[in-house]
Amino acid sequence: MPTLDETTTDEDLRTYEFCVLYPCNLSQKEEAELLKNIEGAFEEQGGKQISKDSWGKRGLAYRIKGNDEGNFVVYHYALEGDKLKELDVALRIMPNLLRHIIVKPPKGYKIVKYSETYEKWLKEREGEDDRKKKEKEDKLAKVVADKAKRQVKRAAAKKEEEVVADKPKADKKKISEQLEKLISDDDLDI
């Protein structure tokens, strides 16, 4: 049987994207064995791995075989189109593999590692979360400072009212004393 290199040209190979989903509760040994079997199935069909993007543990929209979460891995392989059916059958019967999908990307498709993009987004989001938290703290500090200023103004106004309220009493007392003095004063020539 001729090898891939002898009978095929680069024009016969096409890049395909394969996404596989497996349970997240597998042991490290079982997970490594499963990924080795998946990659072995690709190589048996003459595929050449271009990239592997492990997305890690993600929640599922619905339960699949009793699992609410699963691990995702996205592969890009250069492969002949007529080998896809055999590869699909091999993946369907593979134990511990919940789901898989094969996608033929459009021409000119740029392979992007979403796990790296996701990590970058998380860092940016952390920075944005910190910024929002600081803005919230600053806003709260401003509210507290404004409240303190209002309390100081109220205290000053209350103190002033007390001074003003006491002042007429003092004036009345002073006037009463002066009147008493005048009345009791015998030197008056009235």
* pTM for this predicted structure: 0.55
Predicted pLDDT at 80: 87
Helix/strand/coil for 172: helix
CATH of the domain at 38: 3.30.70.60
Residues 6+ away with beta carbon under 8 Å from 102: 16, 17, 18, 84, 87, 88
Predicted pLDDT at 7: 40
Please indicate, yes or no, if residue 81 is contained in any of the structural domains: yes
Please indicate, yes or no, if residue 178 is contained in any of the structural domains: no
Q: How far apart are CA 26 and CA 96, in angstroms?
A: 8
In the chain, how many domains are there?
1
Please indicate, yes or no, if residue 14 is contained in any of the structural domains: yes
Predicted pLDDT at 53: 86
Please indicate, yes or no, if residue 147 is contained in any of the structural domains: no
Structural domain of 54: 4-111
**pLDDT tens digits in sequence order for the chain, 190 residues long:** 333 343 444 567 888 899 999 988 888 899 889 889 988 988 888 888 888 888 888 888 888 888 889 989 999 888 888 888 888 888 888 888 888 888 888 887 777 777 777 778 778 877 777 778 888 888 999 999 899 899 888 888 888 877 766 666 667 777 788 777 777 766 655 5
Please indicate, yes or no, if residue 89 is contained in any of the structural domains: yes
Instruction: Please answer whether residues 188 and 182 qualify as being in contact, where contact means their C-beta atoms are separated by less than 8 angstroms.
Output: yes
Please indicate, yes or no, if residue 132 is contained in any of the structural domains: no
Predicted pLDDT at 45: 85
Q: How far apart are CA 95 and CA 22, in angstroms?
A: 9
Q: What phi and psi values does residue 77 have, to the nearest 5 degrees?
A: -130, 145
Please indicate, yes or no, if residue 40 is contained in any of the structural domains: yes
CA–CA distances in Å: residue 69 to residues 60, 61, 115 = 5, 9, 17
Please indicate, yes or no, if residue 83 is contained in any of the structural domains: yes
